[in-house]
Chains A and B, each alone.
Chain A
Amino acid sequence: MRVQSPRQRHNQRVLVLAIAYAALLFPAVYLLSRHLVSGPIAYAIGVLPALPVVGFFVVLGAYLIEERDEYLRMLIVRQTLVATGVAMTAATIWGFLEGFELVSHLPAYAWPMVWIAGQGAGACANRVIERRAA
């Protein structure tokens, strides 16, 4: 059997989490928006779509531990720093604008999504930095 690289394992885990997110989100929205469940069960169902998102953070940490290639690890750390910067900056600016009632309310779960999208920005930053240095 072919041994998977840490990167391949990470990509596979992310794919599984993305599928789990979609599989849990739609039933939760269906059940809760129609008030078909209540009480503790509603809370349990409500938290289900959050778990795969939390999983994204966990598998990233696992990947950083498992990746033995220090250069690739450095790239992922830099990518994640960019993503964190993008998400925190966006959350801070939006938070103030929302506080001054200049923009509409955004649910808090938007910011992890921005962070995940920020990983793409981080990957682009890596590409630009590495190309310039070459």
Chain B
Amino acid sequence: MNNRLRILRGERGWSQQHLGELLSVSRQSVNAIETGRYDPSLPLAFSIAELFGLTIEEVFESPSRSIA
């Protein structure tokens, strides 16, 4: 699933490790989500969006919309 996580993280100057610590997940998890290798669960997606003060749709691109 495409997302803006890398951009949002970069804007704040955070490392993947730091973002992982803020979300209580590993650096590998952050990397996997950023590169689209892993789609987070809804609770984790909410945590990510809330951390950046955004809605889920503002962080993650809807797969159905990206197809259309």
Contact = CB atoms under 8 A, between A and B. Distances in A.
B41 interface: yes
Contacts of A68: 24-25
A51 B41 CA distance: 36
Interface residues of A, number: 9
Nearest to A134: B35
Interface stretch (A23-31, A69-77, A92-100): A69-77
A68 B37 CA distance: 19
Contact of A133 (B25, B26, B28, B35): B35
Query: Interface residues of A: mostly helix, strand, loop or mixed?
Result: helix
Interface string B25-53: 11011001101111011001000000000
Contacts of B28: 71-72
A130 interface: yes
Contacts of B26: 69, 71-72
Contacts of B35: 133-134
A79 to B, nearest CB: 14
Interface of B: 24-26, 28-29, 32-33, 35-38, 40-41, 44
Interface of A: 68-72, 74, 130, 133-134
Q: Pick the 9 closest A-B CB pairs, nearest first.
A: A71-B29, A133-B37, A69-B25, A69-B26, A71-B38, A71-B32, A69-B29, A70-B41, A134-B35
